[in-house]
Amino acid sequence: MTQTHELPVLFLHDQVALPGMTLPIELDDEARAAVDAARAAGGEQLLLAPRIDDTYPTVGAVASIEQVGRMPGGAPAAVLRATDRARIGRGVAGPGAALWVEAEVIEPGAPTERTRELATDYKRLVVATLKRRNAWQVIDHVESTTDPHALADLAGWASYLSPQQRVQLLEETDIDKRLEVLITWTGDHLAEQEVSDKIATDVREGMDKSQREFLLRQQLEAIRKELGENEPEGADDYRSRVEAADLPDEVREAALREVGKLERSSEQSPEGGWIRTWLDTVLELPWNHKTSDRTDITAAREVLDADHHGLDDVKDRIVEYLAVRGRRAERGLEVVGGRGSGAVLALVGPPGVGKTSLGESVARALDRSFVRVALGGVRDEAEIRGHRRTYVGALPGRIVRAIKEAGSMNPVVLLDEIDKVGSDFRGDPAAALLEVLDPAQNHTFRDHYLELDLDLSDVVFIATANTLETIPSALLDRMELVALDGYTEDDKVAIASTHLLPRQLERAALTSDEVTIDDAALREMAGDYTREAGVRQMERMIGKILRKVATNLATDKAEAPVLVSVDDLKDYLGRPRFTPESAERTAVPGVATGLAVTGMGGDVLFIEAAKPSTAKLQTASAEGDSGPRLTLTGQLGDVMKESAQIALSYLRSHGSEHDVDVSALSGPIHLHVPAGATPKDGPSAGVTMVTAFASLATGRPVRSDVGMTGEVTLNGRVLPIGGVKQKLLAAQRAGLTTVFIPQRNEPDLDDVPDEVKNALDIHPVSDVAQILELAFEQAAHSAPGAQDAPGAHGAA
């Protein structure tokens, strides 16, 4: 049976009273009116209604007045104890100035089994929460509370519940729902507490570790001071090192700014490590240190001549550089940090001619430091310009590292294999080299890691490459090109006896008194065993001979001294790898010998032309399939394919002028350029193709001692080509005696060694007709009208 009471109302603005709670209330005018009204009615009970967020509640707590007195500070107060929930009804009239309402007391229902289970779960969570706070007395009180209603209303004291949540608990009359809500809220709070405690523990442990490390570092520093082994680690030391270093003014200012940042950063900050690494790099660079160049030009030339045979172009360029620099110094015109006081050379030539070793010789001739920077396969622009300091593990570029390694600002830097530089999504290193190799810009080269101007104007850059095709034109324009086209046979013999043989004797632990290789054997090795532009393979052959000699001496199969002659080469090296083949290849009509340039130097190129037999042509015509007019094989590039079309069109148009049967070229023709596995391109085989087609049509073989090169036009004009020196060297190595070159390439003969020019009969021509007059054998090898047979032989 419900009970209804008429009670004065006391609104609580900052707290919520739940049954079982005892609250001290300061008696302001509103509270005193409610308390006085309750006392005047004789029941000494009032209704506590929460007023949170200015909303009027529907449920309040019936409270009795336990005591009226004063606070410790003297303010009047009353102690109220809430006993029951009551639903707030309509307003009524009552004594005093307070607001009176009807209050219907809500009786708590009897607990069910479900209620007791919820109460047990809630109690477990509350105890767990209190244990984290070490509130053992409160835990005892909670454990002794068995009434589910009283246990749920204890949540009024929970500090982790908001006033809105307490109002929700007060207005919820169903004990099961009230416990379910409390279980959810308490579980969430417990989980948050566990996470917070773990974070606090981690932070505390981290602080303890930092404090321990700080104390250990302080102790370590004190121990080092006592032992006299104090190491420069702090920011104060960096400041003193920067101030004592010989740095340019702008570099010193930048370094001091970084020292200031280091002083403001903590020991544990990762930025401190980055700043230290940057400062170490700056302090290790030789900003104002330069070596003195050798002033004796004659002595410098002697150094170059002692290290390398030939290569007069690059030697002359280095001597000229020294002469000009010496005169400028004598007349007080030497520029410190100016523009164009260095040199940028590009040594281009086949492998084995001494490009890389020449860089070391130049450094010795100039009496400078030498650093080699390998660029082969580099695809990242940061390898040249460095990484930005924002990246983890950032480093300066290879140019800065080379300067640091050299220990001076004017070393000789060898940029090896510059033609092998690649590009991908990380940038183009060749583009980054544009500023490095530009004498007008490199006095203010800026590395991304340093972010400081670095003067490279006094550096002598020597770049090496095998071919020019893969070097960007803008980069090639910034370098002074010096071509190393290869050695003659005499050069190879001189190099082998002067340089290669002594070096290999030392490696094989032999002396010149124990082993001797005569010049005739060396010449045989150069001509029949290696046949290369350089001498790298020849040095390997010499090493192979010396190793076998050392083995024979160790096994008593030979006695010192050992003389290696031409007759002994077969025992040491086997049969010759290269034999003259021009006579065999050109013995049939339709084959001509051309000259080409590859990455390995000059080489001879045989061009073969053939046509199907008459029977095959008649069969194909009867079947309605005449096939293609010109078949091209041998991995030819587009330019070379066009040259073949031009050569055939020229003979079909002008063949009668040269006694060539044009009808013999009307059917299908097959042109092949061995070796088929090697890609080929370029226009310089045009005259060779014309000669091969003319030989096929006339049935006259081309002379076996003739080689030719040049681009041909539809009117028979012979246009200039490149690589004349390398091609003539290849012709001499192949045993040719007569060579046709374009007339406009005649000035290039000035660079050809006299030995080669004396060994070859060189004919500069302006029209392909001049070649057709001299290139064929004097007598035809086949009767007129029998051109089909030579074509069949050519195909074979």
Q: Which pLDDT score, from 0 to 100, does residue 127 have? A: 86
Q: Is the pLDDT of residue 224 over 70?
A: no
Mean pLDDT of the chain: 83
Please indicate if the annotation marks 527 as binding a ligand: no
User: In Å, what is the CA distance from 253 to each residue of 238, 282, 338, 447?
Assistant: 13, 12, 22, 17
Whether residue 133 contacts residue 196, with contact meaning beta carbons closer than 8 Å, is answered with: no
Band of pLDDT at residue 223, cut at 50, 70 and 90: confident
pLDDT tens for 128-147 read: 888 887 777 888 888 888 88
**pTM of the complete model beyond 0.85:** no
Q: Which of 404, 446, 448 is nearest to 281 (CA)?
A: 404
Residue 64 phi, psi dihedral angles, 5° rounding: -105, 150
> Using an 8 Å Cβ cutoff, are 735 and 580 in contact?
yes
Q: Which residues pair with 631 in a beta bridge?
A: 670
What are the pLDDT digits (tens) for 486-509?
788 888 888 999 899 999 999 999
H helix or E strand, kind and range, residue 197: helix 175-227
Cβ neighbours for 756, distance < 8 A, ≥ 6 positions apart: 488, 728, 729, 732
Active-site residue, 727 included: yes
**Is residue 349 marked as binding?**
yes
CATH 2.30.130.40 fits domain 3-106: yes
The sheet with strand 669-672 has its strands ordered as 630-633, 669-672, 601-610, 591-598, 706-708, 738-742, 761-765
Spatial distance between the Cα atoms of 3 and 20, rounded to a whole number of angstroms: 19
**How many Cα atoms sit within 13 Å of 23 on the Cβ side?**
23
Q: Of 661 and 610, which is predicted with more confidence?
A: 610
Model pLDDT, residue 377: 81
Q: How many H helices and E strands in the chain?
A: 29, 24
Q: Predicted confidence band at 708 (pLDDT cuts at 50, 70, 90)?
A: very high
Confidence class of residue 38 from pLDDT cuts 50, 70 and 90? confident
User: For the stretch 560-586, what's the b/e string if a residue is b when 16 or more beta carbons lie within 10 angstroms of its beta carbon?
Assistant: eebebeeebbeebbeeeeeeeebeebb
Candidates 315, 492, 725, 727; catalytic one: 727
Tell me the one-letter amino acid at 402: A
The confidence score (pLDDT) of residue 788 equals 39
Looking at 684, 695, 704, 725, which residue is catalytic? Answer: 684
Quickly state the pLDDT bin for 272 (edges 50, 70, 90): confident
**Would the pLDDT of 87 be above 60?**
yes
- CA–CA separation, 463 and 369 (whole Å): 16
Residue 718: count of CB within 10 angstroms of its CB: 28
355 is in an annotated binding site: yes
CATH 3.30.230.10 fits 582-795, yes or no: yes
* Nearest by Cα to 462 from 428, 508, 411: 411
Query: Is 270 a known ligand-binding residue?
Result: no
- Of the candidates 632, 639, 652, 630, the one whose C-alpha atom is nearest the C-alpha of residue 596 is 639
Compute the distance between CA of residue 589 and CA of residue 701 in angstroms, rounded to an integer: 4
- The pair phi, psi for residue 74, each rounded to 5°, is 105, -10
Report percent pLDDT > 70 for the chain: 92
Per-residue pLDDT of 597-650, as tens digits, reads: 876 778 888 999 998 765 444 444 444 444 457 889 988 889 999 999 999 999
Q: Which of 305, 304, 310 is nearest to 752 (CA)?
A: 310
Stretch among 552-561, 676-685, 780-789 having the lowest mean pLDDT: 780-789
pLDDT at 678 over 50: yes
The pLDDT, as a whole number, for residue 268 is: 66
Q: Is 590 left (phi over 0), alpha (psi -120 to 50) or beta?
A: left
Separation of alpha carbons 661 and 28, rounded Å: 133
pLDDT band at residue 267 using 50, 70 and 90 as cut-offs: low
> Hey, what CATH class is 297-483 in?
alpha beta
Q: For residue 741, what are its two tokens?
A: 């070159």
Q: Phi and psi dihedrals of 271, rounded to 5?
A: -65, -30
- The residue that leads in pLDDT, 619 or 35, is 35
- Residue by residue, DSSP assigns 669-704 as EEEE-S-TTS-B--STTHHHHHHHHHHHHHTPPBPT
**DSSP secondary structure string for all residues of 379-403:** --THHHH---TTSTT----HHHHHH
Cβ contacts of 215 within 8 Å, gap of 6 or more: none
Average pLDDT over residues 410-428: 85
Number of other CB atoms surrounding residue 444 within 10 Å: 14
Helical packing angle, 270-284 and 249-264, nearest 10°: 160
641 is catalytic: no
To which residue do tokens 């029951």 refer? Answer: 84
Contacts of 438 (CB under 8 A, 6+ apart): 478
Q: Are 87 and 103 in contact (CB under 8 A)?
A: yes
Per-residue pLDDT, 785:
38
* pLDDT confidence of residue 617: 46
Give the Å distances, CA to CA, from 455 to 305, 410, 523.
Answer: 31, 9, 48
Mean pLDDT for the stretch of residues 179-198:
87
Question: Does 228 carry a binding-site annotation?
Answer: no
Q: Which CATH number fits domain 489-573: 1.10.8.60, 2.60.40.10, 1.10.3260.10, 1.10.260.40?
A: 1.10.8.60
pLDDT at 52: 82
Question: Distance between CA atoms of 498 and 491, rounded to whole angstroms?
Answer: 10
Consult the annotation and say whether 342 binds a ligand: no
State residue 156's pLDDT score: 82
